[in-house]
Structure 1
Amino acid sequence: MNSEKTLVQGRSAIVVGASLSGLMTSLALARAGLEVTLLERSARKSRTGAALPVAEGLLGRLTGQPETGQQSVPSGAQAWTDIHAALRDAVVADARIDFRAPVLVTSVGEDRRSAWVSADGGEVLRADLLVGADGHRSVVRVSVSPDTPDAEFSGYVIWLGLVDESAISSPAWPSDLAILYEGDYCLNAYYLPGEDGSTFTGERRLGWGWYDAGHNELLRRSGVVKGNVVQRSMRPDDMPDSLFKDLARAARHFWPDPWREAILDCLSRRSIIGTPIGEYMPDRLVTERICLVGDAAHLPSPMTGSGFSASAEDAMALGDAIERCDDLGEALRRYEDRRLQAAQGLVRSGRSFSRSFAPRGAAQ
């Protein structure tokens, strides 16, 4: 049965997507005084092996509150899952945020009075502001940029894995990060704190991201890339035995220990995911009542190393604009003025890498 609910008028927002950008934006808007409804289509999130650089005091900047105990995001390189868990805990603890999952948003819209989302169960939610934080295949982006709604496949995939250092017998790498190139491959490998936060040798985790421009036919055959559009990540159940054998053979040939041993460990456990790389260059970020943040707004190659920090800047810029300006339309224009050019520059930088790494890989 269809139902329609109007949220608190005057200071209300709907945020679609509870990945990192959606969590950060919800916190920033709540700090600005809005009542936030955060909608997420998945019951759980997982990014095996992904790592991100985190600025000191990030959560405090988003919430305006000191970071203590579990309500904290440690600075430095951190596992994606750890950052997500800390941000999610902060969202759940915030009385201004109503976090709902799983909720699949099927369409969005706006008029002079409000913005709205329609969910797959027939429910319609309305608020003053609608934020698209729903990633590279954003439903909300279609309303902001209907002529260019899709991110484009860049011609390569990143395989991601994570393993406890205690499971690795090889001596430690002399630095916390390795960036290695071989043929159609590039390996970013890094040490991360252990699950308990320890950074002592032997108690850490080894994460790795393996950029691969040689398996595009498999990506299209499995349906994770259709035409020139990335559909989803590739999970172990999608991966044929031949892929694990190919990657293991290449790892033994190209990569030094301890990264070789870490990769082989993950492959033996089938504990990897593959994310085809898409890129999106924005021409705008807002309409009258709808705006985009994070990967929905601008999708650079992860080789820029700045996607997460850009998403955090989006969240804080939007919250700041809303807090400082009573007129919503003017606040969104200020947000776009502050973030659009920087976002375009970031995507442009990633494209330069993609064109050099996979010059023919995106061809259909």
Structure 2
Amino acid sequence: MTLDLLATRRALHKIPEIGLEEYKTHAFLMETIAELTADKDFVAVKTWKTGILVMVHGSAATKTIGWRTDIDGLPIVEETGLDFVSEHADRMHACGHDIHMTLALGLLERLTQVQPKENLLFLFQPAEENFAGGMLMYEDGAFGDWLPDEFYGLHVRPDLKVGQLATNRSTLFAGTCEVKITFTGQSGHAAFPHTANDALVAASYFITQVQSVVSRNVDPIEGAVVTIGSLHAGTTNNIIAGEAKLHGTIRALTQTMSLHVQERVRQIAEGVALALGVDLAIELNPSGYLPVENHPVLADELMNFFGNSGALEVIDCPPAMTGEDFGYLLNKVPGVMFWLGVDTPYPLHHPKMSPDETVLELGVTEIAKFLSHKINSN
């Protein structure tokens, strides 16, 4: 089989599915992988739910190099007007995972023409957008003895031109932590506040005081974000609220800083509850969206390799405060993630986001050179 990159991407674009429901996507990938590796007795495949692991066994392996792609879509109504628009209602590959999968399949084809020296693992990972599929697979033992020694991956980036690659030697994506807080007091009549205990006042104190975490507890060189995006309390104007629910997020560029900010948020919430005599329920849920911390030595090697190739413009970029679940795997295995330009005016998660498909051939060709260097050099 010779893989048609354009047709493959367009076929995948038609069938976006939400995390852990990628049934058609899984079937398409399994069929394509089987065709690409039909005569390769050094290739093995195993699955985990809708996830797929493809191991290319090396002839004299001393290590395993991993390449990861995500496979899920988003709950978005597509507005691109393309001939190959999504066939699934309210679903779209608005984050470019169709491009990611096509590149991975292209790399699998190119890098199995001959058996490599080192092992090469391809991870087709589900549920990046909603359930941190990388974490789920790792914690469920899906890798077994196939866990790589180094892990690499990419994400398309609309505001970069095709031919531009951006990354850095530190953090590429922030870690995220969901915050859920409930203050419970005692409701009562607004005219008799002394007979009640106002949970809304407690929530207000907390929201005000938690602003000091970033301004006074975080090194300004590092940066972090604490945002409370939702507050629900009370029922009407003349009843004191007996309960207040808050929902927010923490963002930080290192796992150490994320844990520090989480602890300060918890301490402030506990202090407010104690001072105002309300009950507190707090949930800090980082899930699997840890900071994507590039290994500095491996990132330096990757950036120098692509920089010397002449086909790509390598940009040393600052981190983004958005989250990516590849951070969980990079917390377990050293590796690098990078941006790859796809030149479209619409941002990620936009219903009109439509990558420039010329990135497919270029991406496969240049990334294959890098991975070949990793698995075949002495």
TM-score (norm 1): 0.31
Q: Which has the larger radius of gyration?
A: 2
- Using the size of structure 2 for normalisation, the TM-score is 0.31
